Amino acid sequence: MPELRLSIAQHYHERTKYDPQTIAAKNQGLDWSKQPVPFKEYKIGSSFDLKSYLQEQPEALLDRPDELWWRRLSRLLHCSYGVTARMPSMGSAVYLRAAPSAGGLYPAEVYLVSRGTRLLPPGLYNYQSRNHSLMHYWESDVWQSLQQACFQHEALEKTELAIIVTAVFYRSAWRYEDRAYRRIFLDTGHLLGNIELASAMNDYRPHLIAGFADEAVNEILYLDTSQEGTTAVIPLADLLDSNQHLPVSKTSLSSATETDYPKIPDGELLTYFHQATCIPESKTDKTDSSFVKKENPSEDKYNFPFCQKISTATTQPINWSTKLTGLENTILKRRSTRAYSGDNLKLDELKALLDFTYQPQNYTAQNLDISPDYCDLNLIETFIAVSGVEGLESGCYYYAPKAQELRQIRFKNFRRELHFLCLGQNLGRDAAVALFHTADLKTAVSLYGDRVYRYLHMDAGHLGQKLNLAAIHLNLGVSGIGGFFDDQVNEVLGIPGDEVVLYITTLGRPR
């Protein structure tokens, strides 16, 4: 009987694993002369300046509805992907943004599509984060084409604005080579987390569309597809317009599952894999242009026998202050922690972090979305290596979000091992907690095809961004890690072998 080949998603994951025996060959140094510019520029177009609207207070605009509309859109974009600091670097400057990015490379681009409103003409806009403006580079109405490219998704029927997120692949591949595809979609997830929360602050409801006809959306945006590709479409429902109060809708489409692929050289794997995960505009026998109905299991995946169980339910959800001002301030001041002190966290702090990230229903009183969109959160599992939490024994735990409890699977302090697993980064050694997002890739591919690799990393990044913001608000340190020894994580921590590691978030006291 012939051996069954891995799908291209599984093949990509295996090919891009870091291994202690081979990682030295991957670190040959960077050619800084080829470092990409993380901003897109347009030679022609009309610019809409958004900076002045950041200064206005909403109370002062109650009798000026046009300016209030602009303020809401301005704040949404600024808190999603705006520049929040300018840092000097080697005679130049590095611009930090509201959403974190691996290596500060910012592969994402943000576009706004207008159906045509009284204040924003129809057409295509690029968000120019460096000067906080919209560049209107195409003035024709493309909304109907967008609906067709998204297979008539119901969220586009009554909305008037849509954000489209793309990735400029080389910005990340310059440093991370073929493994960059993982980081690109983690970064997209960070951005989706900001869009979710910034929308709530400004009376919008984003509706994620992760399944769309790639080539059609790329053509709408006039992208050079050898350099850039669409990663997500997000119609924005205006909650101040009752006609745009829409039900939660499905987000994800299945794609083909490719097993008959050629031998792909290093350096070409990312491009090949991206094309393999695209969905064609016309339905074929290998794809399904109907949005997948997600199953919602009533119980958590793992219930290990005889394990210690610790409740994570909390009676004190994080307070984001009146009108979510605390959330806005946190988004704008967020930075990745560079070093931890090694001191312990409190168990209540860990509970608060998990509560905000996984229990959105506890935040309805603060006007946050109780059912935000993900691709398919049921595919994501969470394991937590505890090195220093007061009142919690060191070891590795499975987090059961439905039961709201930690289930211990291994008894040990893993500080030394985490230093190794995180490629020798002190962040792994000195963190009080390392949280691992994982997924059963084989099962996920059977449900969604190879495109699920995008979905898994976007969801992991989305969760990671909510952890980031909760930690910063609680004056804790936090840093995401996308580089780790894949297989060794499972072996050392006792995570089931079927689970592939997607992302690590470290948490602790900042030094």
Q: Which two tokens stand for residue 228?
A: 């850039």
Instruction: Report pLDDT digits (tens) over 78-130.
Output: 999 999 999 887 667 889 999 999 999 999 999 999 999 999 999 999 999 99
pLDDT for res 63: 73
Q: Collapsing DSSP states into helix, strand and coil, what is residue 8?
A: helix
Return all residues near 205 (Cβ < 8 A) that are at least 6 apart: 199, 236, 237, 239, 244, 245, 246, 369
Q: Do domains 45-251+253-291 and 309-508 have the same CATH topology?
A: yes
Q: How far apart are alpha carbons 188 and 196 in whole angstroms?
A: 12
pLDDT for res 60: 66
pLDDT for res 2: 46
Task: Work out the average pLDDT over 315-344.
Answer: 96
- pLDDT band at residue 62 under the 50/70/90 scheme: low
Q: How far apart are alpha carbons 379 and 452 in whole angstroms?
A: 10
Comparing 72-76, 217-221, 294-298, 444-448, the range with the smallest average pLDDT is 294-298
CB 326 within 8 A of CB 319: yes
- pLDDT band at residue 285 under the 50/70/90 scheme: very low
Instruction: Report pLDDT digits (tens) over 222-258.
Output: 999 999 999 999 999 999 999 999 999 999 999 999 9
Which CA distances in Å does 449 have to 26, 184, 251, 455? 29, 19, 15, 11
Which CA distances in Å does 472 have to 33, 102, 466, 475? 34, 18, 10, 5
pLDDT for res 277: 98
- Which of residues 34 and 59 earns the better pLDDT score? 34
Q: Which contacts qualify for 124-131: CB closer than 8 Å, 24 or more apart?
A: 124/220, 124/221, 124/222, 125/48, 126/40, 126/42, 127/77, 127/81, 128/39, 128/40, 128/47, 129/39, 129/77, 129/81, 129/82, 129/83, 129/95, 129/97, 130/39, 130/83, 130/95, 131/49, 131/51
Fold exhibited by the domain 309-508: NADH Oxidase (3.40.109)
pLDDT for res 1: 37
Share of the chain above pLDDT 90, in %: 88
What is the reported pTM? 0.96
Comparing 101-115, 276-290, 390-404, the range with the smallest average pLDDT is 276-290
82 phi/psi in degrees, rounded to 5: -75, 160
397 phi/psi in degrees, rounded to 5: -125, 150
The H-or-E segment that residue 383 falls in is strand 381-386
Q: Which two tokens stand for residue 164?
A: 């489209």
> What residues does each domain of the chain span?
45-251+253-291, 309-508
Share of the chain above pLDDT 70, in %: 95
Q: Which two tokens stand for residue 154?
A: 């119901």
Q: Does domain 45-251+253-291 have CATH number 3.40.109.10?
A: yes
pLDDT for res 3: 54
Return all residues near 329 (Cβ < 8 A) that are at least 6 apart: none
Beta-sheet pairing, 345-346 with 389-390: parallel
Task: Work out the average pLDDT over 27-50.
Answer: 89
- Which of residues 229 and 64 earns the better pLDDT score? 229
- Which of residues 286 and 126 earns the better pLDDT score? 126
CB 416 within 8 A of CB 500: no
- Which of residues 130 and 2 earns the better pLDDT score? 130
106, amino acid identity? Y
Instruction: Report pLDDT digits (tens) over 161-214.
Output: 999 999 999 999 999 999 999 999 999 999 999 999 999 999 999 999 999 999
Tally of CB atoms within 10 A around 423:
15
Q: How far apart are alpha carbons 470 and 328 in whole angstroms?
A: 12
Q: Which two tokens stand for residue 40?
A: 């897109």
204 phi/psi in degrees, rounded to 5: -120, 160
Is the pLDDT at 362 greater than 50, yes or no? yes
